[in-house]
Amino acid sequence: MCCNTRVTDLALVERVLAAVDACADEIVDFTSALVRIPTVNPPGDHYTECVDLIGAQLASCGFDVDYIAAEGRPEHTPAHPRVNVIGRRPGRTARPTVHLNGHFDVVPEGAGWTMDPFGGIVRDGRIYGRGACDMKAGIAAALYAAEALRRAGVRPNGSVEVSGTVDEESGGFAGVAYLAAQKRLSTEHVDYVIIPEPLNVDRVCIGHRGVYWFELETRGRTAHGSMPFLGVSAIDHMALVIDRIQRELVPSLTGRSTAMPVVPDEARHATLNINGIAGGQPVDGIQTPCVADICRAVFDRRFLAEEVFDGVRSEIQSLMARATRDVPGLQVALRDLMVVLPVQTPGGSPLVGSLERHIQQVLGRPAVQVASPGTYDHKHVDRIGGIKHCVAYGPGILDLAHQPDEWCRVEDLVNATKVLALTVLDLLT
């Protein structure tokens, strides 16, 4: 009996893998079609076209399709509507539900491309274009993983959902956060979430570090630029604060390590980046001789699961206090812009175990557990939706995300689709 079951399962697995292979061209074509829609965010261009394409494909694959506009969100405007789509295919039983989610917004193409960033070009076994890697290939893998199960004649015990959502690149508030707040992507309906972000085809991503974006503002006193000694330069004071951050804070951040398997290795520590700085007159405007009376800079502090947020902020505050004490006339104020706490999939999650087994089965090499250097929609699934069993797993090479000539290897795309299909099958059997 045991042997029979095993043979039956193996036959089923072979059928599913063959179904993925049989639709490989469709997976590539669908990815290319998604890349050809320039869903650039900001500002959120062509979202309607893209959500309609994903919805139509889901419908043609037998899903019940819901379009969910982010009503009430300020960024959901007539010029740039924020609409998400969820396809649901009920199984024999309502639960468990496995939900595969991908964001369809992409970052601006930037400079340095050697080909059309929105051409969806397939060449030498790669799909090129902005979003090919991050993460339109992932959406195609998710959709065709579910479709391969259908074509293989699988009628699972639970349900499978595939969603395409907006605005991940700008925080996901009208996308996954909205669906979670509406209880559409929450424990009320969903048990497992896989986000096929490009973390490499053999890696399972179990979470990310915390994020603290804050602004520092220095205030001085303006004066004639020919007599700067009569004023107080807010820019000079910001320079002193930044210098202090570089000398007193950054080495200590670099010295802190997390037990989470964050990649690349350098990101296994706490880090700090300056997002932007502005003070005095706009440098491309007409210049007048004035001492800058205000300077603002925005900082991006990534903190570790082992750090406590209050400590992260008070570290900045005490550095500001020391600077104020040591420099006569220095005035600096702190403003919080965004806080994202670290998230981590629980140890022993069946989702992780299943993905690892099927990565080994499909690729013939062991899976690697990683954590992401940057945040992604996992945080909303966990904190708003309450769903703990959430990971990122998808095709595409992490380092290529947001780069010029971004690409995704077709072989990785097909293999990730196989891994996802077998994992969904496993979780719903």
* Region from 7-15, 91-99, 132-140, 300-308 binding Zn ion, contact rule CB under 5 A: 132-140
Q: Is 135 or 146 the residue whose CB approaches Zn ion more closely?
A: 135
Nearer to Zn ion among residue 126 and residue 136 (C-beta):
136
Which region among 62-70, 131-139, 179-187, 232-240 touches Zn ion (by CB under 5 A)? 131-139
Contact track, Zn ion, 158-197, x by CB under 5 A: ---------------------------------------x
The distance of closest approach from Cβ of residue 197 to Zn ion in the complex, given in angstroms and rounded to an integer, is 5
DSSP at 373: S
Q: Is 406 in the site for Zn ion (CB under 5 A)?
A: no
Which CB, 231 or 396, lies closer to Zn ion? 396
Cis peptide before 251, with omega less than 30 degrees from 0?
A: no
Judge residue 1's burial from the number of C-beta atoms within 10 Å of its C-beta, 0-12 exposed, 13-18 middle, 19 or more buried. exposed
C-alpha 424/C-alpha 194 separation (Å) is: 10
Of 165 and 218, nearer to Zn ion (C-beta) is 165
CB of 302 to Zn ion, least distance (A): 17
Min dist CB 113 to Zn ion, Å, is: 19
> CA-to-CA distance for 71 and 39, rounded, in angstroms?
20
Would you say 109 and 40 are in contact if contact means Cβ atoms under 8 Å apart? yes
Q: How far is the CB of 67 from Zn ion (least distance, A)?
A: 21
Q: With contacts defined by CB under 5 A, how many residues of the chain interact with Zn ion?
A: 3
Contact (Cβ atoms closer than 8 angstroms) between residue 337 and residue 298: yes
Question: In the complex, what is the shortest distance from the CB of residue 386 to Zn ion, in angstroms, rounded to a whole number?
Answer: 22
Q: Minimum distance from CB of 375 to Zn ion (Å)? A: 10
Q: Could you write out the DSSP letters of every residue in 14-69? A: HHHHHHHHHTHHHHHHHHHHHHTS--BTTTTTTHHHHHHHHHHHHHHTT-EEEEEE
Shortest reach from residue 382's CB to Zn ion, in Å: 17
Name the DSSP class of 183.
Answer: T
CB atoms within 10 A of CB 365: 9
Paired sense of beta strands 343-344 and 271-279, if any: unpaired
- Helix (H/G/I), strand (E/B), else coil: 255: coil
Q: Is 71 exposed, middle or buried (0-12, 13-18, 19+ CB in 10 A)?
A: exposed
Smallest separation, CB 150 to Zn ion (Å): 26
**Cβ closer to Zn ion: 135 or 319?**
135
**Which span (58-66, 130-138, 229-237, 291-299) binds Zn ion, by CB under 5 A?**
130-138
| Nearest CA among 369, 296, 390 for reference residue 337 | 296
Residues 8-40 as b/e (b if ≥16 CB within 10 A, e otherwise) read eeeebbeebbebbeebeeebbebbbbbbbbbbb
Read off the DSSP letter of residue 226: T
Rule CB under 5 A: say whether 381 interacts with Zn ion: no
Decide whether 87 or 175 has the Cβ nearer to Zn ion: 175
Q: CB-wise, 13 or 135, nearer to Zn ion?
A: 135
Residue 134 or 191 with smaller CB distance to Zn ion: 134
Give the separation between CA 57 and CA 387, rounded to whole angstroms: 27
Q: Residue 103 Cβ, how far from Zn ion at the closest point, in Å? A: 6
Part in contact with Zn ion (CB under 5 A); list of ranges 94-102, 134-142, 178-186, 229-237: 134-142
135 or 174, CB closer to Zn ion?
Answer: 135
| Binding region for Zn ion (CB under 5 A) out of 127-135, 230-238, 246-254, 313-321 | 127-135
CB nearer Zn ion, residue 189 or residue 378: 378
Report if residue 135 touches Zn ion, rule: CB under 5 A.
yes
Q: What tokens were used for 365? A: 């090499």
| φ, ψ dihedrals at 233, nearest 5° | -85, 120
Partners of residue 343 on adjacent β-strands: 208
Q: Is 134 in the site for Zn ion (CB under 5 A)?
A: yes
Q: Closest residue (Cβ) to Zn ion? A: 134
Q: How far is the CB of 262 from Zn ion (least distance, A)?
A: 17
426 binds Zn ion (CB under 5 A): no
Is 110 or 329 the residue whose CB approaches Zn ion more closely? 110
The first and second tokens of residue 226, run together, are 């020919």
Q: Which SS3 state, helix, strand or coil, does residue 333 take?
A: strand
CB of 392 to Zn ion, least distance (A): 9
Q: Which residues bind Zn ion (CB under 5 A)?
A: 134-135, 197
